[in-house]
Structure 1
Amino acid sequence: MAEPGGTAGAPPAAGQGRVLAALALAQFICSFAGSNMNVMINDISEDLDTTVQGVQVAITVFLLVMAALMIPGGKLTDRYGRKRCFLTGLVVYAVGALLSAAAPGLGVLILGNSILEGVGTALLIPPVYILTTLLYRDVTSRARAFGVIMALGGIGAAAGPLIGGLITEAISWRAAFVFQALVIAVIVVLSLRLDDPLPPDPTRPFDTGGAVLSAVGLVLVVMGILAADDSLWLMIGLIVLGALVLLWFFRRVGARERSGQEPLLSLTLFRNRTSDLGLVTQNVQWLLLMGSSFTVAAYLQVVRHYNAVQTGVIFTAATAGLLVTSLSAERLALRHAQRTLIMAGFTLTIAGIAVLVALAAAYTTAWAYVPGLLLVGLGLGVMLTPSVNVVQSSFPEERQGEISGLSRSVSNLGSSFGTAIAGTILVSGLTRGAYAAAMITLGAIGLVGLAAGARLPRARTPTAPRPAAPSHR
């Protein structure tokens, strides 16, 4: 098969810089959407006559819809093509953003932001990672490309509070959604010359039943976490029911594979130890990013009474850290093993969380949050790119649709867990003690990611994609 963009390891052909800009901006705006509402909590709750918990539900449902539909979204790219899914996702996202801007109440906001933007993201994000893997063939150039994409994604998540805060204070929280629609328009223009390296296969089967089961199972688990503040028994019931549905899903997958049918998600994806560990690190990374962002932002606004701009300015420390380390991804990949970078990232992030707890207890000044957020940003920027590279590079071209969907689903599920777990602890009692409890919980989960990173291979680069693998067509 001819390699896209020229020979392996060669710089991208003319025009691919424009394509990379489109892919990176797409990741930016989706990450931005997941965090910018954190600084609008007071404004939205007052304008729409709802509560902090209502806004938390809207944020979590957005992240959850992405996680639940990312695997089906990845599979659809094989059938309908990467470019078509990407552009369709952009259009659905833009409609959701404009609907959110005009929302008269929480229900319409959830429909526009949480549902339509979530569906749009699930369609457009898998193509971002599939196209990057196909267009950049060697580990170094792929690390550079993923570095740009993850930098924009991390900056979108970290700078979301600042940008959203500035727009909210200058105009209105509704204008932040108009801003998202305008960025989508720019991405569409940049994507017009995008070429799909692999032709779509309209005959490729799609496991609709599996898609429904996986989505329902994930929704029940996360909604169970959100129910913890209302009823312990409801929480347990929803989580157990979700686990049973997911078990049903995996049994269905196994049965379809044994009968020669193509499932939504092949179980063989979980037989690669390096990829499995990489998926764990991805999940925990986004859990830490979104969980800490929501917790700090909500605490500053509701307890410390900071406005949207003040809260956003404080978060520039995390943005700066992410920018510095993410844009150094190519250089870091050349000098250090992926395992080393991931472990270093978790160490810095956990240290940052500890500093956030310690300084918040000792000082009331806004500057007390800067050192911890800077460490968190530096740590996440160091490890986001190598974790993605480890997973994507573990599979050949024909499996990129599957692994990309799984990878993004696992990451967005981590974002959902982060907001749900930390948010539930925080909202149960918006006090300094609840803030510390939420952050300490996040730090403890970070240790799980560190342990997974420590078990990754010590090789400097991940395994190159194998030339062929069985195809379930």
Structure 2
Amino acid sequence: MSDHTTPPGPASGPAPGPATGGPRHVLLPLALAQFICSFAGSNMNVMINDISEDLDTTVQGVQTAITIFLLVMAALMIPGGKLTDRYGRKRCFQAGLAVYGVGALLSAFAPGLGLLILGNSVLEGIGTALLIPPVYILATLLYTGVTDRARAFGAIMAMGGIGAAAGPLIGGLITTAISWRAAFVFQALIVGLILLLSRRVPDPLPAAPTASFDIRGTVLSSVGLIVLVTGILAVDDNAWLAVALLAAGALILLWFFRSARAMERAGKEPLLSTSLFHNRTSNLGLITQHVQWLVLMGVSFVVAAYLQVVRGYNAIETGVIFTAATVGLLASSLAAERFARRRAQRTLITGGFAITLGGLVVLLAMSGGSASAWASSPGLFLIGVGLGVMLTPSVNIVQSSFGEDEQGEISGLSRSVSNLGSSVGTAIAGTILVADPAHAYAAALITLAALGLVGLGAATLLPGGAAPNVATTRGRAAGAG
């Protein structure tokens, strides 16, 4: 595939399967799965004080649990995507849900921070890494038309964005009405519902039990990402250790890529094909995805921690304030299909970043020195609108750049990059804020805005036009460059 995408022509006939035969029974479990995983990444932000007091830990301890959850997802998402080829997309989806459900129940009854991290951060993280790649692979394979796929991705990303944005509100309601532990029971119940609904989800491709699996690549990629983000978390405690960890993480990831290239030269199949990085459009799309989730989760943690630790708001009050972001994100995400028909992917992504950056400026200008916490609402609303505008086209432009035979790899890579953005955003913003919550609020938001400019820059380099149809790109992605 060339580095430039061109607008596809009209879809050649109706999309197969659920695209014409009743997509709701397919979309509902896929969208709910993305919702609950995104919800898990943000709902703990409003439980900081409650968990800290109940488990006799600190704000930094809760931040660590949140970051580890996001990091485990990011570290295992690429292997998770690869396993879908070997065991089948539906089977991995259901196995991930089961592991996630066990982790949620363990978290609900955790007597201390250690078991909370095991249940929430580790088991839920592993479950998410298994179930999320199939969501995007199935959506890509079952919805082959550009408009149909935009509709599917729009629904899935809308639910994911709502889960992340509404996590503080729903978590706050449950925490205030019952307890923070009930929020994990809520997650387990939703997962049980998704398992029931998933029985009707078809798997369009057969599993390949004999497919190879790169264990060394899995270890190297996972360890490299974990060490890298751990380095960010260590900045506040020990700068030299942080530098050492960041350098070590980068070297391990370099080792991973060199190992993958050597396997390809030897005719073997690595965990991640290096040819995926030969597609300029996909690379730029991945950067925008990373920055989008970095900003979303970073802002969520910073504002939630500031309102609770500095302003003294409880979980429900903090959650209600985040309603502004939820409303903005919901409104723009649900319009994804209409936007996809009328505007180019690049226009939507650059416009989304511009609105989000404007929201950060408004948030910083109005909330920092105001006595009213509601001063945060206009900025949060704009951030929600901006993110909702660009989440779907960023995913669509990446997934649609590759054919069916590479959907497992690119889905795992795409979700890993996004979740790495979530963990990095929480780690960076949290590290800045935890050092001095009363005075570092502005510094954390300015840092997130600066990183948002990187995403905007990448978006402006995207080619114009709509994302290509997978049906037209099958077999050409390997030769991209």
Do the structures match in fold with TM over 0.5?
A: yes
Q: Residue 127 in 1 paired to residue 128 in 2?
A: no
Alignment of 1:96-245 (within 5 A): 96-245=103-252
Alignment of 1:279-358 (within 5 A): 279-358=286-365
Q: Distance in 2 between matches of 1:34 and 1:266?
A: 29
Q: CA deviation at 1:338?
A: 0.3
Q: Distance in 2 between matches of 1:292 and 1:434?
A: 13
**Structure 1 pair 9–138 and aligned structure 2 pair: CA distance change class (3 A):** farther
AA in 2 matched with 1:410? V
AA in 2 matched with 1:380? L
Q: CA deviation at 1:195?
A: 1.1
Q: Residue 438 in 1 paired to residue 452 in 2?
A: no
Q: Distance in 1 between matches of 2:44 and 2:188?
A: 15
Q: Residue 383 in 1 paired to residue 390 in 2?
A: yes
AA in 1 matched with 2:421? G
Q: CA deviation at 1:18?
A: 1.1
Q: CA deviation at 1:39?
A: 0.1
- What CA deviation, in whole Å up to 9, does each residue of 1:267-316 have, x standing for no partner? 00000000000000000000000000000000000000000000000000
The answer (yes or no) to whether the contact 1:9–1:141 under 8 Å persists in 2 is no
**Coordinate RMSD, CA, aligned:** 1.2
Alignment match, 1:29: 36
Q: CA deviation at 1:466?
A: 1.6
Q: Residue 394 in 1 paired to residue 401 in 2?
A: yes
The answer (yes or no) to whether the contact 1:70–1:405 under 8 Å persists in 2 is yes
- What CA deviation, in whole Å up to 9, does each residue of 1:401-457 have, x standing for no partner? 0000000000000000000000000001111x3000000000000000000000000
Gaps of 5+ in 1: 1-5
Q: Distance in 2 between matches of 1:62 and 1:336?
A: 36
Alignment match, 1:371: 378
Q: Distance in 2 between matches of 1:84 and 1:124?
A: 9
Q: CA deviation at 1:13?
A: 3.9
The answer (yes or no) to whether the contact 2:396–2:467 under 8 Å persists in 1 is no
- What CA deviation, in whole Å up to 9, does each residue of 1:126-166 have, x standing for no partner? 00000000010011110001000000000000000000000
Runs (4+) off by over 6 Å: none
AA in 2 matched with 1:108? L
The answer (yes or no) to whether the contact 1:353–1:439 under 8 Å persists in 2 is yes
The answer (yes or no) to whether the contact 2:145–2:469 under 8 Å persists in 1 is no
Q: Distance in 1 between matches of 2:185 and 2:17?
A: 39
Alignment match, 1:3: none
Q: CA deviation at 1:458?
A: 1.0
Q: Distance in 1 between matches of 2:450 and 2:349?
A: 17
Q: CA deviation at 1:15?
A: 4.7
Q: Distance in 1 between matches of 2:368 and 2:277?
A: 42
Alignment match, 1:448: 454
- What CA deviation, in whole Å up to 9, does each residue of 1:43-101 have, x standing for no partner? 00000000000000000000000000000000000000000000000000000000000
The TM-score with structure 1 as length reference comes to 0.97
**Structure 1 pair 181–62 and aligned structure 2 pair: CA distance change class (3 A):** same
Q: Distance in 2 between matches of 1:99 and 1:9?
A: 40
Q: Distance in 2 between matches of 1:258 and 1:470?
A: 18
AA in 2 matched with 1:250? F
Q: Percent identity?
A: 71
Q: Distance in 1 between matches of 2:342 and 2:17?
A: 20
Q: Distance in 2 between matches of 1:250 and 1:467?
A: 24
Alignment match, 1:83: 90
Q: Matched residue of 2:368: which SS?
A: helix
Q: Matched residue of 1:192: which SS?
A: helix
The TM-score with structure 2 as length reference comes to 0.95
Q: CA deviation at 1:367?
A: 1.6
Gaps of 5+ in 2: 1-12
AA in 2 matched with 1:206? F
Q: Residue 60 in 1 paired to residue 67 in 2?
A: yes
Q: Distance in 2 between matches of 1:345 and 1:470?
A: 27
Q: Distance in 2 between matches of 1:37 and 1:470?
A: 40
The answer (yes or no) to whether the contact 1:64–1:412 under 8 Å persists in 2 is yes
**Number of residue equivalences:** 465
